[in-house]
Amino acid sequence: MNYKVSLNGARVLVTGGASGLGRQLAMQSAAKGAHAIIWDLNLDAANKVASEIQSAGGSAEAHQVDVTNRDAVNALAVKVGGVDVLFNNAGVVSGDWFLDLDPASIERTYRVNVLALYWVTQAFLPAMVQGNSGCVATISSASGLLGVAKLTDYAASKFAAFGMMESLRSELRMKGSSVNTLTVCPHYIGTGMFDGVKTKFPWLLPILDERKVAAKILRSVEKGKAMLVLPKFVHVIPIVRALPIRWFDKITDFFGVNRTMDDFRGRA
């Protein structure tokens, strides 16, 4: 089966496409010849990205939508039409101690980071399956592989995203479909969403550049890859998990993983 997808001439939809990594995915997709469809709650910001793309000679459109609203997603999906590549990129983070988490924030994290994946993917996947081509790419996180202090809701939501995509990949494979799934698990990206986070060993676990991350994601789509973990050092997590749990904890503490959120501020 051929899982590769050419972005030249493709219709690419990006949720949360008005800022950060989503903006880069939209702009770089358009630079490769794709028609970028930008979905965001902030219509002004989404329109600005679309205008930037058009000013550079690319093709784009922008739409306002709350991806946690299933009816709104379905209605807009009908209006937009089929897509070749779907980037489930929209996400939120609370960044607080478990006992200090506001119940409304917990619910918001799950609505945006988990339930929206189902609503948006269910809206666009049927046409991909019918055409036996395309790619569903979901931005999980390194926190989808490793729980981190002050990220109990966020990490759990990203574990859910990872599990959903693994199961979806298996379902499509069992049905003999050529529709690809790409799960992206990056370390912290310097988009502002995690403003204030620190890393003890930046040469091993750097704060990632959103432009470079977007470029690697797009190359992974074009090559038909199923998984992208950034940086490469994050690949050691499954190996370290084979150790006794107290050893595992000591190793993660040594690398400062559970102190990364100490000075977290988040996006203003």
Catalytic residue IDs: 154
At 145, give phi and psi (nearest 5°): -115, -20
CA torsion, ordered 200, 204, 205, 211, to nearest 10 deg: 130
SS3 readout for 119-175? HHHHHHHHHHHHHCCCEEEEECCHHHCCCCCCCHHHHHHHHHHHHHHHHHHHHHHHC
Q: Are 16 and 116 in contact (CB under 8 A)?
A: no
- Strands 11-15 and 85-88, by their bridges, are parallel
Q: How many Cβ atoms are within 10 Å of 201's Cβ, its own excluded?
A: 11
